Amino acid sequence: MPRFTEDFVPLIPWLGVMLVGQGMSGLLDLKKFDIAENKISKLLALMGKHGLIIYLIHQPLLFANFILVDQFV
């Protein structure tokens, strides 16, 4: 059966990748990855904290753009 959206991806294959990443993150010394405080890193941190809201807002905007392009093409 063909997929009609790329948002649907089976959970099981990616669950293993996520678990490997979680396991390896405990091995890293996170103090080595200290990020400098500047406007770009603050913006990226803000976007990371509100990622779900950004995702939920951009989806209707993206599909509205697709509809507008379809009307004019």
Span 55-64, pLDDT tens digits: 999 999 999 9
Nearest-angstrom CA–CA distance, 28 and 25: 5
Name the percent of the chain lying above pLDDT 90.
36
pLDDT of residue 32 exceeding 90: no
Nearest-angstrom CA–CA distance, 64 and 4: 17
Nearest-angstrom CA–CA distance, 59 and 55: 6
The overall pTM is greater than 0.85: no
Nearest-angstrom CA–CA distance, 52 and 72: 31
Residue at token pair 């509809």: 67
The Cα-based distances of 43 to 11, 39, 49 in angstroms read 30, 6, 10
